[in-house]
Amino acid sequence: MITPDDMATAAAVLSAIRGGDLEHLRRLLRERPEVATGRFQGRTALHVVTDWPGYFPNGPQIVHLLIRAGANPSFRHPTRCDETPLHWAASSDDADVATALIDGGADLDVPGGSIGTPLANAVGYGCWHVARLLEDRGAHIGNLWEAAGLGNRAKVDELLACDPPPTSSDIDAAFWQACHGGHRRMAEHLLAQGADINAIPDYSQQTALRIAGAPDTQRQILTDWLKERGAAQD
């Protein structure tokens, strides 16, 4: 663990990761191998790579470097941070970094995130690139709303046929997520199952119509990045 006496090392690690300085990070790992598994206020170096808003330079390469050096891609601090690095990559829709974590052995189905599993975080926050990646890699789809947000008709029909069947609020939430994910046919299917077209989930203030036209997380992060760098606006 990185202690308060190692603040200079911690600062160097944070700078190397956020700046994408692979050579500096390699040197730090050679000099202080514990950097790969150390913790910085409850976060590991892999958490730093995936911290909001993500997309740090050379992020996937840094993930591979840290995992080869012994970092645990599924680490959760027992009291300070319930989320794994994959939860964080999912919440920023950084699919390249998420792929590197999965290739490095990250557990796809760890619960306890701000919404649930990494897949739940991805769907809930409109992070569709990572959501589809997790689905393709075999992540468990545990809820009707997750399946609807992904546009997964087979899974939706399986969950609709469960005993006991989904409640009307479950179907409403699934319809809203289908609109969130931009799935017209899924929205039609759930509307035919009795979904309320104007229902608003308790975690949102937007109607299905409003959320259907909202940018996904990755596009919003890109837009914010362009504005921060002075891109001309209409």
* Per-domain boundaries in the chain: 141-234
DSSP assignment of the chain, as one string? Answer: ---GGGHHHHHHHHHHHHHT-HHHHHHHHHH-GGGGT-EETTEEHHHHHH-TT---TTHHHHHHHHHHTT--TT--BTTTB---HHHHHHHHT-HHHHHHHHHTT--TT---SSSSSHHHHHHHTT-HHHHHHHHHTT----SHHHHHHHT-HHHHHHHHT-SSPPPHHHHHHHHHHHHHTT-HHHHHHHHHTT--TT---TT-S--HHHHHTSPPHHHHHHHHHHHHTT----
Q: How confident is the model at residue 4 (pLDDT cuts 50, 70, 90)?
A: very low
Q: Structure tokens of 138?
A: 């075999």
pTM listed for this prediction = 0.92
Q: What's domain 141-234's superfamily in CATH? A: Ankyrin repeat-containing domain (1.25.40.20)
Q: Structure tokens of 37?
A: 């598994």
pLDDT in tens, 167-181: 999 999 999 999 999
Q: Identify the bridge partners of residue 39 per DSSP, sorted by sequence position.
A: 44
pLDDT in tens, 130-158: 999 999 999 999 999 999 999 999 999 99
Give the number of C-alpha atoms closer than 13 A to the C-alpha of residue 199, restricted to the C-beta side: 21
What pLDDT was estimated at residue 79? 58
One-letter amino acid for residue 220 of the chain: Q
pLDDT in tens, 44-102: 999 999 999 999 999 999 999 999 999 999 998 665 568 999 999 999 999 999 999 99
- A 10 A CB-CB count for 104 gives 19
Q: Quick check: 212 pLDDT over 80?
A: yes
What pLDDT was estimated at residue 76? 86
Q: Identify the bridge partners of residue 40 per DSSP, sorted by sequence position.
A: 43
